Chain A
Amino acid sequence: MFRLNMGRSLVYWVLAGAFALTLVGCGGNRLEQPSRGRIGMTCMDLTNPYFKLIANVMQKEAARHGYELVALDGNNDAAKQNNQMSDFVAQKYSAIFLNPADSRAAGEGVKKAHAAGIPVFTFDVQVADEEAKALVVSHIGSDNYQGGRLAAESMMEVTADRGKIAIISYPEISSCIFRVQGFRDYLKEHHSQLDIVTELSGKGNRNDGYATATDVLQAHPDIVAIFGVNDPSALGAYAAVVKAGREDDITVIGFDASPAGKQAVFEKKLYDTPQQFPRKMAVGTVDAFMKYLEGDALPKTTLIPCAHYRYADSVNDESRIKEQW
């Protein structure tokens, strides 16, 4: 009985100790005040290498200016991001960099931060709520609309402007909506002969892109090309094309120039993947904050234009070889 008690209290203390250590280990090094202040950053999905890269670059860039950047994962959950914003506000962070998981549901967090006197900068995705949008100091993002136009340009080039094509879209995300819009507008303005037979959601990931493209190929076996609205959906679509044995007569175009996308272009699986510049976006966001602090004039929106990324661009591209964005 004595032994039993001993064992129990021992486990108790070990547990309590481990718990305290974990938290101290995580939190202890934050005890000393950063020199200038902290920036809170929350993005839709920190497990996505694209956002991880942005977070890293922002962290480095902020540190250069004497700020510590805390990057949190919004888990694609607007309510969670809302809570994270509340915590940033409670902590009186110097600024918030927001990449809304749901552009339509992010307004309340922005209003809260503004009311507490904390400047909010959005990157990559804008908030939709007009009232909140006015409160955002500045938005820095890719010019997705122009990127969509680039994809359309390549599409006309590779298909000689003839035949049926399909779009694997992701209408839940506004940036992807802009890409499709740019794509369609370019075709219309150039009186393209291309016939867009279908536009279906691939939910922005490889699995669903694959499943959707498989269904598209069943319904429309005569298509000549597919535009995947981001690289995962495009690569998923390519896998479906290979499965159907059609890789020689169907061209796939992606978007993003992700590491996988770049490699796919190099291997001639994708014809083009209009390139975004996450580094520029990250640096631009931090710069905007610095300018804000100095009281410099800031544009409400800064859109970084996209660029083609085709086979010729990939051959000697060091970032592709190093598997970087």
Chain B
Amino acid sequence: MVKTRIQLKKLLSDYGMLAILLLLCLFFSLLTLKQQQPQGQSAAKQLANAVAQKASPGERVLVVAGTQKASQDTARMVAEMLGRRSFSRVMEVRGTPRDLRLALDRLRDESERPAAIAVTSEAVEWRVWEILPEAYPEFGQVTLVTPETYYWPDFLKLSNLLAVVDRIVVIAIIAIGMTMVIITAGIDLSVGSLIALAGVISTLVMKQLGGLGAPAWTVAAGFLIGIVSCGLLGAFGGFLVARFKVAPFITTLALMMVARGLAFSITGGFSIYQVPDALTWLGQGRSLGIPNTVILLAVLYAGAHIFMSRTTLGRYIYAVGGNEEAARLSGVPVAGVIVFVYIVSAVAAGVGGCIQASQLNAGTPNAGLMYELYVIAAVVVGGTSLSGGSGTILGTLIGAFIISVVQNGMNLLGIESYTQNVVLGLVILGAVLLDRLRGGASLAFLTGRGSAD
């Protein structure tokens, strides 16, 4: 009976946070349910049919699209479909409202009038349609055709879900290293500054090696140098913690200042932005239709999960955090393990810095301000105990996503910045508290029984 109880607790503490994450997603999906403008084949067909009903093949027909590629594609399809129905005088207008006005002016000057105007997606919102009767009285009655809208949550749109991943990718990757550090009962406050340092160093290297037009290998070289520099700082910090028993808090606090200072002094306070185009590949590119950041995130998390759960070194990390002295007396190379986790943390921060530089296409010395706190929050929300010895990599991923979903969801709901901070703080508190009430407190209850007699 106790066995099933223990297993139940384990299940809850492993997946309880996942339930909270899913609840949040459901919640935001409901709240962001909204009319959507359809695009693509079906929308085009709809528009073409409607136009064919309202106008005859000989008449002048306008198809209007905005600057968005999907919108322009839809417009092209409408034009083609109409062409096949022998509408010979179809005119496509793409771009801004200004472009539309210029096209309309031209029609008026040629004293023509459009019989029907098919409008795709974002162009529906243009106020040109409202002023049409006054501005162009010559046209008389013009039929506007818009596609029928449908309901779908903004939150669940693929582009938004990718944005949810995209915004957290830096924090989530750094959280891998932070999870390891916190499992050894340490803390790493320097990661935020290391983001800036890595970004600045790597972009500076790229700029020095050729700047705007430099080949792709310069980007790789920049990243490598940036990440290795971070790794060296991490190794230094880890050494201080392991060898001289300097408190991790103060060691990494000092390194945080050092790294931030370096980032500013290297750049003189300015962002570095004349960088090779290839830089954006990592942060903005896609492979096989999936954003590279998402792939990287998945690969790193899978690797870290296997590392922590299946390798000797992973087990050592847990042991050092659970009871450093017992681990040492069991022959665990404690100092080596500690140095290792600080290196991992710093390298992860370096990778995060490179991704951010790539996302922004620039290296900014004030990047990553306060990120250490978000990273720590993600780790703790993910169920890792600050006192060390316990925690999981996948839990951290869930923790990171909880933070990301809340931030994204609130932006979608248009909640004010001031309120956002309050809500995010409460969510973090609530998640941790729920975790303690559900898993932590009842586990303590069990252990209380163990030491009872």
Q: Does A322 contact B (CB under 8 A)?
A: no
Q: Does A223 contact B (CB under 8 A)?
A: no
The answer to whether B68 touches A115, judged by C-beta atoms less than 8 angstroms apart, is yes
- A91: shortest Cβ distance to chain B, in Å? 5
How far, in whole Å, are A33 and B407 apart by their CA atoms in the complex? 21
- B382: shortest Cβ distance to chain A, in Å? 18
Q: Mark B406-425, 1 if CB is under 8 A from A, else 0.
A: 01111111111111100100
Q: Does B266 contact A (CB under 8 A)?
A: no
Chain A residues whose CB sits within 8 angstroms of the CB of B104 once the complex forms? 295
Known A-B contacts A38-B414, A90-B159, A114-B67; A79 and B34 likewise in contact (beta carbons under 8 Å): no
Chain A residues whose CB sits within 8 angstroms of the CB of B366 once the complex forms? 76-78, 102
Q: Does A298 contact B (CB under 8 A)?
A: yes
Q: State which of B369, B411, B416, B434 has its C-beta within 8 Å of the C-beta of A12.
A: B434
The answer to whether B68 touches A117, judged by C-beta atoms less than 8 angstroms apart, is yes
The answer to whether B362 touches A298, judged by C-beta atoms less than 8 angstroms apart, is no
Known A-B contacts A90-B160, A104-B271, A129-B273; A78 and B167 likewise in contact (beta carbons under 8 Å): no
The answer to whether A117 touches B369, judged by C-beta atoms less than 8 angstroms apart, is no
Chain A residues whose CB sits within 8 angstroms of the CB of B163 once the complex forms? 83, 86-87, 89-90
The answer to whether A86 touches B167, judged by C-beta atoms less than 8 angstroms apart, is yes
> Which residue of the partner chain B has the closest CB to A86?
B163
How far, in whole Å, are A11 and B429 apart by their CA atoms in the complex? 13
Chain B residues whose CB sits within 8 angstroms of the CB of A68 once the complex forms? 414
Chain A residues whose CB sits within 8 angstroms of the CB of B413 once the complex forms? 26-27, 30
The answer to whether A86 touches B369, judged by C-beta atoms less than 8 angstroms apart, is no
Interface 9-residue window, one of B80-88, B95-103, B175-183, B334-342: B95-103
Q: Mark B173-216, 1 if CB is under 8 A from A, else 0.
A: 00000000000000000000000000000000000000000000
How far, in whole Å, are A293 and B369 apart by their CA atoms in the complex? 37
The answer to whether B417 touches A293, judged by C-beta atoms less than 8 angstroms apart, is no
Q: Does B218 contact A (CB under 8 A)?
A: no
Known A-B contacts A72-B417, A78-B364; A19 and B430 likewise in contact (beta carbons under 8 Å): yes
Show the binding face of A for B, using Cβ within 8 Å: 8, 11-12, 15-16, 18-20, 22-24, 26-28, 30-31, 33, 36-38, 46, 68, 70-73, 75-79, 82-84, 86-92, 94, 102, 104-105, 107-108, 114-119, 128-129, 137, 171-172, 201, 290, 292-298
Show the binding face of B for A, using Cβ within 8 Å: 27, 31-32, 34-37, 66-69, 71, 96-102, 104, 121-122, 125-128, 131, 154, 157, 159-160, 163, 166-167, 170, 269-273, 280, 284, 356, 359-362, 364, 366-370, 407-420, 423, 426-427, 430, 433-434, 437-438, 441-442
Q: What are 19 A-B contacts defined by CB distance under 8 Å?
A: A15-B437, A22-B426, A26-B415, A26-B423, A30-B414, A30-B415, A77-B366, A78-B364, A82-B359, A83-B163, A92-B36, A105-B361, A105-B364, A108-B360, A115-B67, A137-B96, A294-B128, A295-B100, A295-B101
